[in-house]
Amino acid sequence: MSDRDTILSVENLSVHFRLGGGVFSRASIVRAVENVSFALQRGETLSIVGESGSGKSTLARAVLRLVAITKGSVILNGENLAQLSNNEVRKRRQNMQMVFQDPIASLSPRRTVEQIIAEPLMVHQPELSGEERSAKVRDTMDAIGLLPDMRNRYPHEFSGGQAQRIGIARALIVEPTLLVADEPVSALDVSIQAQVLNLLSDIKRQRSLSLLFISHDLSVVQHVSDRLLVLYLGHVMEVGAAKDIYANPQHPYTKALLSAVPTIDFSANKPKRTRLTGELPSPTVEHVGCPFASRCPMAQAICNEQKPQLNTVEGRDVACHFPG
Amino acid sequence: MTVLNRERNEEALAAAGEVLRSRSLTQLAIARFLRNRVAVGATLIVAVMILMATFAPLFELMTGYEMDFQDRNFYSGKAPDWDAKHYFGTDQNGRDIFVRTMFGMRISMLVALVAASVALVIGVSYGAISGLAGGLTDTIMMRILDLLISYPLTLIAVIALAYFGRNIFIVFIIIGLVEWQIMARVIRGQVISLRNSDFIEAARAAGVRPIGILVRHIVPNVTGVAIVYMTLIIPEVILVESFLGYLGLGVQEPNTSLGVLISEGANAIERKPWMTYGPGMFLVVLLLALNFVGDGLRDAFDPKDR
């Protein structure tokens, strides 16, 4: 693909939070995202996976500048969001929309479905008349599979799957180029998950939308992703084509993650699970070496001394001293 | 065999949609409130009392407010006498206590309305600013509030009244000024939990301006709680006014309030005990009823009890 089709390009992005720090105590710094780079093409789905606390959601929010960016740049359609003022970022939000994890909590409880879906329109296309706005809401609802007579109902009257469709309709009504979906199906029943995932991939195809898909569920990710980015403690472990990584993971952390996916396989040669011991280390520590070294089954002395850089191994980028 | 097609499904749903009218959270809260019999009964009692206070002059026509100069026991007051239409008796000036109670309720209710509104406005703005600002501003505002809460506020009210004089509206405003703190605390908590909620972040992600977030998303979700706490502040305000009246710092003669009437009765309780009965009964019933209304509203607006 040519460079012109790059919708989003993230370069050396870091997000740090100050924790505590009053008059009598020193603040500690949580390094939620550390030096992450990736690019997203038009019509492509990039999935970000990792366990709880790996910085997936923070990365997603930093891309949309919903949290402050500490270092690095986020270039959307050729503009660096990190350097724009809050008000200018607000105007760019038409191009970047988000779908949230908890579908019902992400809808304002005292507003009707129509008011909720129309809200981004009121901000970004204030010139529309009330009728034009209603027509657009109806069109979008129809495309998402919501019945028009749901317009005047309230969020508490809907099931999780329907509420998530409302959330998707709200995100799509301004026709963004980038859609960030933060665990859009993890709060839904499995049967509903499939419906919502199919809906997302249909829409993505029809509108050549770029999708940044955050999940901790690798079996969900497998269905939707073109490319995969594995995050651990805010560091990129492995990034590349989803097919390649699923077929042949190179980073020991990716291997452990993939082996943890439940499978229905009763044969004798079922691959053995790689069990990780210990907990995720505190994100307040700055790592000299590899952040995964404390739990890695293959760790050597060098892993604690030198941070591995991303190197191309078997067609994808891996940050490990001993890939394979 | 029936084939279900999309068109027929939609027809059926449209037909059902007309029957099943959608209900907003406020409508659900009203329905829940109406199921609470104690709260509905208390609301009726409060409504009747408001009507009685509003039409107090009518009772004056009915029973005669003027002093009975022909009576030899004019200055001793009379015990309740239904035949003479002095339902609660008369006071040492020969005035009918029932009528006085109706006029006293007017002042007590006016206090409730004005002072509770003052408390509502100050409490909601202070709490919302503190909760939205967060950080150092929030900390400083809350420490100031702690400081104010730790002072005996009735004492402040007494000092302020001694300083500003005993104008009736000054009484109202001062009571409002000392009753807003709990409202501010409650609203701040609500705003903080709302500020971190997903739908506020969704609004930010949609590009809504901060002022739009405040007006369209935070205020509508705080009003329910504010109304509930206002109904709980009202009895407290009436009580404070009654206390100030009892100390002789409230409204001045010939105006009266429930607290002033009880205070007068207490001074003559050995010889004319009936003087406290009527006003006391009305005060107790009014406070109890208002508390039940407040409790009912709080339960009705509680989102956990859907």
Angstrom distances, CA of residue B81 to CA of A102, A300, B78, B87, B278 = 68, 101, 8, 6, 13
pLDDT mean over A85-105: 91
pLDDT of residue A315: 85
Q: Who's near A285: CB < 8 A, 6+ residues apart? A: none
Flag whether pLDDT at A81 surpasses 60: yes
pTM of the model: 0.76
Q: Checking DSSP bridges between strand A28-41 and strand A45-49, what pairing results, if any?
A: unpaired
Biggest CA-to-CA distance, chain B: 98
**3-state secondary structure at position A227:** strand
Q: Looking at the complex, report in whole angstroms how far the Cα of residue A75 sits from the nearest Cα belonging to chain B.
A: 17
Cβ atoms of residues B79 and B96 within 8 Å? no
Flag whether pLDDT at B6 surpasses 70: no
CB contact under 8 A, A149 and B198: no
Residues on chain B touching A140 (C-beta within 8 angstroms): none
Residues on chain B touching A110 (C-beta within 8 angstroms): 24-26, 220-221
Distance of CA A12 to the CA centre of its chain: 17
Flag whether pLDDT at A2 surpasses 50: no
Residue that has been written with the tokens 């693909």 in this structure: A1
Characterize B22-33 residue by residue with b for buried, 16 or more Cβ atoms within 10 angstroms of its Cβ, and e for exposed: eebbeebbeebb
Rounded to whole angstroms, the Cα distance separating A185 from B287 reads 51
Rounded to whole angstroms, the Cα distance separating A35 from A14 reads 5
A180 sits in which H/E element:
strand A178-182
ipTM rounded to 2 decimals: 0.85
Size of interface A-B (CB pairs under 8 A): 77
- Scanning every residue of chain A, which has its alpha carbon at the shortest distance from the alpha carbon of B223? A110
Q: What is the DSSP string of B205-228?
A: HHT--HHHIIIIIIHHHHHHHHHH
HSE, CB side, 13 Å, CA atoms: give it for residue B172. Answer: 16
Distance of CA B306 to the CA centre of its chain: 25
Flag whether pLDDT at B65 surpasses 60: no
- Chain B segment 206-235 residues within 8 A of A by beta carbon are 206-209, 212, 216-217, 220-221
Residues A52-70 have pLDDT tens digits of 888 899 999 999 999 889 9
HSE, CB side, 13 Å, CA atoms: give it for residue A162. Answer: 13
Supply the DSSP symbol for A287. P
Residue that has been written with the tokens 């509003």 in this structure: B54
Q: Among residues A286, A225, A303, which one has the least CA distance to residue A49?
A: A225
Instruction: Return the percentage of chain A with pLDDT > 70, whole number.
Output: 95
**What letter represents residue B271's amino acid?**
R
pLDDT of residue B56: 78
Residues A252-311 have pLDDT tens digits of 999 888 888 777 777 766 667 777 777 778 888 888 888 888 888 888 888 888 888 888
Which pLDDT band, with edges at 50, 70 and 90, does B229 fall under? confident
pLDDT mean over A42-49: 92
Which pLDDT band, with edges at 50, 70 and 90, does B36 fall under? confident
Rounded to whole angstroms, the Cα distance separating B203 from B212 reads 9
Residue that has been written with the tokens 């206070």 in this structure: B53
pLDDT mean over B25-44: 85
Those residues of chain A whose CB sits closer than 8 Å to some CB in chain B are 64, 66, 90-91, 93-94, 97-98, 100-102, 105-112, 119-120, 123-124, 147, 149, 152-154, 156-157, 167, 170
Cβ atoms of residues B240 and B178 within 8 Å? yes
Of A94, A101, A112, nearest to B207 by CB-CB distance is A94
Cβ atoms of residues A46 and A240 within 8 Å? no
Q: Return mean pLDDT, chain B.
A: 79
Output the six-digit token pair for A97. Answer: 């929309």
CB contact under 8 A, B22 and A167: no
Q: Is A97 left (phi over 0), alpha (psi -120 to 50) or beta?
A: beta
Q: Looking at the complex, report in whole angstroms how far the Cα of residue A95 sits from the nearest Cα belonging to chain B.
A: 10
Instruction: Return the percentage of chain B with pLDDT > 90, whole number.
Output: 8
Cβ count near A209 (within 10 Å): 23
Q: Who's near A280: CB < 8 A, 6+ residues apart? A: A51, A52, A53, A54, A233
Residues on chain A touching B13 (C-beta within 8 angstroms): 147, 149
Instruction: Return the percentage of chain A with pLDDT > 90, whole number.
Output: 36
Which pLDDT band, with edges at 50, 70 and 90, does B1 fall under? very low
Residues B158-208 have pLDDT tens digits of 888 888 876 777 878 888 887 888 889 999 999 998 888 889 999 989 989
Cβ atoms of residues A81 and A65 within 8 Å? yes
Q: Which of A6-15, A169-178, B249-258 has the lowest mean pLDDT?
A: B249-258
pLDDT mean over A128-133: 90
Cβ atoms of residues B258 and B110 within 8 Å? no
